[in-house]
């Protein structure tokens, strides 16, 4: 019958940026963090995550740096840039405005 998306389309970049406000993380860690914070409701598939990170790099909203993890593995750690913080705040306010608007449409009466 067609499975629903694991994510609300259009929210992934915002979720990634927000996750990075808590500190630098590699891609895998970002996905885990979102999954856990959302109580397993939101699952970021690899095929969505890495292209999204490339987009964010290209836009200059995050920067990436290859390092070793605690478990001694090679991984690329992402940090928010100043532009990324600005973008996050923009996306947050647009998102909240939309959710409020949808809420008005979904109200009874």
Partner DNA sequence: GGGCCATATATAGATTATCTATGGGTAGAG
Partner DNA sequence: CTCTACCCATAGATAATCTATATATGGCCC
Site string for DNA, 50-89 (x = CB under 7 A): xxxxxx-------------xxxxxxxx-------------
Which of its own copies, DNA, none binds 92 (CB below 5-8 Å, type-dependent)? its own copies
In terms of CB distance, is 9 or 103 closer to DNA?
A: 9
Beta-sheet strands, E only, within 1-109:
25-26, 62-68, 74-80
Query: Residue 72 burial (CB < 10 Å; 0-12/13-18/19+)?
Result: exposed
Which of its own copies, DNA, none binds 93 (CB below 5-8 Å, type-dependent)? none
Q: Regarding beta strands 74-80 and 62-68, do their DSSP bridges make them parallel or antiparallel, or are they unpaired? A: antiparallel
Tokens of 54: 């490339």
Sheet containing strand 25-26, edge to edge, reads 25-26, 74-80, 62-68
User: Is residue 96 at the binding interface for DNA, with CB under 7 A as the rule?
Assistant: no
In terms of CB distance, is 11 or 89 closer to DNA?
A: 11
In the complex, the residues that contact its own copies under the rule CB under 8 A are 4-5, 7-11, 14-15, 18-19, 34, 37-39, 41-42, 92, 94-95, 97-102, 104-107
């Amino acid at each position: 019958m067609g499975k629903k998306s694991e994510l609300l389309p259009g929210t992934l970049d915002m979720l990634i940026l927000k996750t990075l406000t808590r500190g630098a993380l590699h891609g895998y860690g970002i996905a885990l963090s979102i999954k856990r914070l959302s109580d397993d409701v939101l699952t970021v598939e690899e095929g969505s995550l890495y292209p999204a990170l490339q987009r964010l790099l290209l836009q200059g909203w995050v920067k990436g740096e290859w390092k070793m993890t605690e478990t001694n593995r090679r991984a690329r750690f992402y940090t928010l840039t100043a532009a990324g913080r600005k973008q996050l705040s923009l996306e947050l306010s647009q998102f909240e405005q939309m959710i409020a608007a949808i809420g008005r449409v979904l109200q009874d009466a």
